[in-house]
Chain A
């Protein structure tokens, strides 16, 4: 069934978009991430302009993270104080990100910027996660003690001022790194059209040493708010949010996410992290390959503005 998208200005197959939403939703539910880093490239692949894809995916991630956040809230797996502090940085970062996005779009380097940031972020994060997952797996196989206690309790981060207590997470920490992480995630999310969950979760675990019990729920709250904010800003400044496209993605996404979450509970933690690491790494490598091999066509044409 073909449907004409009012903002993207192309007809798409509704079932294809719905299936893409469901597939990405499944993955996002399974790993507790937004899935924007998969969705945006898929949309670009079916012919939607990168700028429209980035802007519309933001609202799709908002929907899936909201449904996730609700269920985590019921299980009391969200640290509201931590979320608020992260958000104060996140909002600023998102605003900066949307501004940068508009600037890059006018400079004509948006595609390169999106592609290189994908490569750098995804290969690094994916590689690290994969490596960490592999090590945990080997440790478990050797029968060694699976360290649930996070090692190295004192790093330089703990020496920073402005400390405060995050009750639900049971940590006592300076607000500076928390705000900075929020800012970075907000910025990356707005520029790349991703929620940033797959970067935020490892950062919270390894840098801030937030316990795993509250990590995913809290990260979802941050994703939710930054993505709602990003949707608003993209709608106001770039007018590129395609609500029809977003709605199809959301419906597919939230449905897929439920099944994904159920599948995820059946898989062991280390395996899950290993799989996610592989997935992230694979997407990163795909982007890297695209940058390195000679493109089929060296020329591209893009409209820079309709004025007549």
Chain B
């Protein structure tokens, strides 16, 4: 009995080890052109470049063709999508859904359409494409993601797309050689400040063969950072200075434009 249990446990442990370190035939090496994007007074968006290559080893089957999916996710936040309805003749927000801890920026890039890369099942499991990315909603007391064509979910994605904050481009990744790839990561001016995670997934014959991630951050520096942190941490002093600035401006104007 005890021996049998021990043997079972042993098998389980072995299985766990095997699952944790599968035989890796490919390895991904990537780099982002800039790991620290600084927001200065003249900042108006930027475009980063992600470079990478697929490293093969002896076990790699020859002449494998690869597909690559890059997912860039910005800092997470709670967001609310509201729907307006006509009540008493005016359009007011009635129904709303809260999206919990969803990325404020989300970009999915690949070298060809997701349908060509993997089966729908794999696409769902690997969250390929905006339709398959997990966006947790609070529906009443429950937490769940819903079907991609849910009205609130699709409106949410559509509005984020309009602002360039959510994007999906299935031809953005280019293979310069069969193993060397690059993609641009466009960051519009209103991208949120914070840490961005970049996840790179390599597919071959419809299955995930390698995965790696990297990150970059968008930070305010100098004056912008000074103002933002002061406003947050020393609200009182910040308010006083702003009010004083207002009075000075008003006083200066009355002197400059004094008629007599």
List the interface of chain A (C-beta within 8 A of B): 2-4, 6-7, 9-11, 59-60, 62-71, 108-109, 111-112, 116, 227-228, 231-237, 239-241, 243-244, 246-247, 250-251, 254-255, 257-258, 291-295, 297-308
Contacts and interface: CB of A to CB of B under 8 A. Distances in A.
Interface string B149-165: 00010011011100000
Contacts of A234: 239
11 contacts: A10-B189, A62-B247, A63-B245, A63-B253, A67-B253, A108-B93, A112-B93, A232-B236, A235-B239, A302-B79, A306-B77
Interface residues of B, number: 65
A60 B246 contact: yes
Contacts of B232: 239
Interface in B38-59: 39-44
B80 A304 contact: yes
Nearest to B82: A300
B101 to A, nearest CB: 6
Contacts of A68: 250
B96 interface: yes
A290 B157 CA distance: 24
A241 B155 contact: no
Contact of A306 (B82, B104, B224): B104
The 4 closest A-B pairs by CB, nearest first: A235-B239, A66-B250, A254-B253, A299-B155
A167 B185 CA distance: 69
A292 B90 contact: yes
Q: DSSP class of A's interface residues: helix, strand, loop or mixed? A: helix
B250 A63 contact: yes
B18 to A, nearest CB: 33
Contact of A70 (B41, B243, B250): B250
B22 interface: no
Given A108-B93, A233-B239, 16 more contacts: A2-B42, A3-B41, A59-B243, A108-B96, A231-B239, A231-B243, A235-B235, A235-B239, A240-B231, A243-B227, A254-B249, A292-B90, A293-B91, A298-B155, A306-B75, A307-B101
B223 A6 contact: yes
Contact of B245 (A2, A3, A246, A303): A246
A250 to B, nearest CB: 4
A295 B93 CA distance: 11
B75 A308 contact: yes
Interface string B230-260: 0110011011111101110111111001100
Contacts of B208: none
A306 B247 CA distance: 33
Given A6-B220, A239-B232, A301 B239 contact: no
Contacts of B82: 108, 299-302
A109 B84 CA distance: 12
B81 A299 contact: yes
Given A67-B251, A254-B253, A294-B91, A241 B231 contact: yes
B78 interface: yes
B246 A236 contact: no
B239 A232 contact: yes
Contacts of B239: 231-236, 241
Contacts of B241: 243
